[in-house]
């Protein structure tokens, strides 16, 4: 029997606000433990939470960017559980009435088509603190700086059909959050976390199979590996005549497998109820429309425009729009030099290779878009060859010089003077009579040898097209 995987993802994204969701404490990461706390986020008796307006604005932005319906009236609820990183004994979240429902995210699906992955809901909540388990100490400690930092949880419908599609969905979500500038979306640092739910069912059948949930996976690669492992494991169990147990599992990246963490019986009963400290959240159309006007062009729309307006291949457009900063860089170059594919090749090639090698982002690129455009203009107008351009690029990175400065300092201007090149061609042919004879006798592979000799004479500066034409004419 053929099985089909069914995947639904729950993503927690930390919002980039200056202060926490229900108090004025700073959200900055990396402060000394327990310095960004106050009676409200410590859950002292008698204090009252006050909702941070920016958190709501960010949630509305995400809801609009993912085509959700925004609830005119939503509520906060208490999710009750006891844990050392949760001083109040409950987390303020949203439950029955979340801020947004029913949207979708479009992703490139397997096979090249695009698919809409439905969103069940988006809700706001506060983060918990962080336990620090130091192996050199007899006890664990808690840092409550993160307590009350705002999160949105984005829950997908079980619409995803492969681990690769799950990866594409997560990358798309993260790109949207970053384009909106409402979250860092950094998985390693925990500002973008994913729980992956997965089941399998006979291909073509409707009812959902029993799912397992893999918790706290901290890289895109691990999500895809964990899902692939879980799908194989579930299919093997079913083919063996067994049943899938609904449970929570953990991804062990060292051993490349999932392990059982807790079963359904041990699942928490959170006893949700409306938080009496917070009034219902009312959002009117005027507010939504004000926020809608601030939305930037989103990654998929920008990708489509890059294909349509610049004639770029999908693949290029995909990479160039993967971050807003990279897409801005590309467009800044193209505004100065109207050669989109040339710019694309240089941004995706040498520039990204350099940034990756040095662990930098486009935000601190050593070569500004203006300088890149100047360099490529020299290639376009024939002053330098593409090969020399790479040498100049490397020099620009090293010294911070302009491309023109490197060209004149290193005397790299391409030789396009036909008479001058002809003299060199004649000299090279005269110096290699036996090769000329072999070539004429049919060893046409020697063309490369002649070109090489001429490049050597000109230190790589001869215009290759002219050299080729001259050689072909002379060698008959």
Does position 244 interact with ligand ADP (CB under 6 A)? The reply is no
Chain positions 33 to 92 lying near Zn ion, rule: CB under 5 A, are 38, 40-41
Token readout for 79 is 């999710």
Closer residue to Zn ion, CB minimum distance, 25 or 154: 25
Closer residue to ligand ADP, CB minimum distance, 120 or 402: 120
Pick one of ligand ADP, Zn ion, Mg ion, none as the site partner of residue 23 (Cβ within 5 to 8 A by kind): Zn ion
State the Cα–Cα distance between residues 233 and 445, nearest whole angstrom: 56
Pick the binder of ligand ADP from 199, 258, 323, 365 (CB under 6 A): 199
State the Cα–Cα distance between residues 15 and 151, nearest whole angstrom: 6
Pick the binder of ligand ADP from 92, 187, 198, 406 (CB under 6 A): 198
Closer residue to ligand ADP, CB minimum distance, 264 or 360: 264
Does position 23 interact with Zn ion (CB under 5 A)? The reply is yes
Neighbours of 143 (CB within 10 A): 18
Does position 245 interact with Zn ion (CB under 5 A)? The reply is no
State the Cα–Cα distance between residues 322 and 79, nearest whole angstrom: 36
Does position 8 interact with ligand ADP (CB under 6 A)? The reply is yes
Pick the binder of ligand ADP from 52, 94, 156, 323 (CB under 6 A): 156
Closer residue to Mg ion, CB minimum distance, 271 or 427: 271
Does position 380 interact with ligand ADP (CB under 6 A)? The reply is no
Quick one: which segment of 4-12, 26-34, 251-259, 434-442 binds Mg ion (CB under 5 A)?
4-12
Residue 129: how many CA atoms within 13 Å on its side-chain side? 25
Closer residue to ligand ADP, CB minimum distance, 87 or 103: 103
Closer residue to Zn ion, CB minimum distance, 25 or 312: 25
State the Cα–Cα distance between residues 160 and 144, nearest whole angstrom: 36
CB 288 within 8 Å of CB 64: yes
Mention every residue, 6+ apart, whose C-beta is less than 8 A from residue 277.
48, 49
Residue 80: how many CA atoms within 13 Å on its side-chain side? 7
Residues that bind ligand ADP (CB under 6 A): 6-10, 155-158, 197-199, 208-209, 211, 213
Residues that bind Zn ion (CB under 5 A): 23, 25, 38, 40-41
């Amino acid at each position: 029997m053929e099985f089909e995987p069914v995947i639904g993802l729950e993503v927690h994204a930390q919002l980039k606000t200056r202060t926490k969701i229900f108090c004025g404490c700073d959200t900055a990461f990396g402060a000394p433990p327990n310095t960004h706390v106050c009676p409200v986020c410590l859950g002292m008796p008698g204090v009252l939470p006050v909702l941070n307006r920016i958190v709501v604005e960010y949630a509305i932005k995400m809801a609009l960017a993912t085509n959700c319906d925004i609830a005119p009236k939503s509520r906060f609820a208490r999710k009750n559980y006891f844990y050392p990183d949760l001083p109040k004994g409950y987390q303020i979240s949203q439950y029955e009435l979340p801020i947004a429902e029913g949207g979708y995210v479009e992703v490139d699906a397997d096979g090249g088509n695009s698919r809409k992955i439905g969103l069940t809901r988006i809700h706001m909540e506060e983060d918990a603190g962080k336990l620090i388990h130091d192996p050199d100490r007899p006890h664990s400690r808690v840092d409550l700086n993160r307590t009350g930092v705002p999160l949105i949880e984005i829950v997908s419908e079980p619409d995803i059909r492969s681990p690769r599609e799950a990866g594409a969905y997560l990358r798309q979500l993260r790109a949207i959050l970053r384009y909106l500038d409402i979250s860092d979306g950094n998985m390693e640092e925990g500002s973008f976390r994913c729980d992956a739910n997965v089941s399998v069912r006979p291909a073509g059948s409707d009812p959902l199979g029993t799912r397992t949930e893999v918790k706290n996976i901290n890289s895109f690669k691990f999500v895809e590996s964990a899902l692939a492992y879980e799908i194989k494991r579930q299919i093997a169990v079913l083919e063996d005549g067994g049943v899938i147990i609904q449970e929570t599992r953990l991804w062990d990246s060292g051993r490349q497998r999932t392990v059982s963490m807790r079963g359904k019986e041990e699942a928490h009963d959170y006893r949700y109820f409306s938080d009496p400290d917070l009034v219902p959240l009312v959002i009117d159309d005027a507010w939504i429309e004000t926020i809608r006007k601030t939305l930037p062009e989103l990654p998929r729309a920008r990708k489509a425009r890059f294909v349509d307006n610049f004639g770029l291949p999908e693949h290029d457009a995909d990479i160039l729009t993967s971050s807003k900063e990279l897409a801005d860089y590309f467009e800044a170059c193209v505004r100065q030099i109207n050669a989109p594919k040339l710019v694309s090749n240089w941004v995706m090639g040498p520039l990204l290779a350099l940034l990756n090698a040095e662990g930098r982002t486009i935000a601190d690129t050593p070569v500004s878009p203006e300088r890149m455009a100047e360099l490529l203009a020299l290639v376009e107008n024939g002053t330098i060859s593409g090969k020399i351009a790479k040498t100049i690029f490397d020099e620009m990175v090293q010294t911070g010089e302009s491309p023109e400065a490197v060209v004149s300092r290193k005397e790299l201007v391409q030789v396009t003077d036909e008479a001058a090149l002809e003299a060199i061609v004649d000299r090279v042919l005269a110096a290699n009579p036996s090769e000329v004879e072999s070539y004429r006798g049919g060893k046409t592979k020697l063309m490369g040898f002649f070109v090489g000799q001429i490049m050597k004479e000109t230190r790589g500066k001869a215009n290759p097209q002219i050299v080729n034409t001259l050689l072909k004419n002379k060698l008959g």
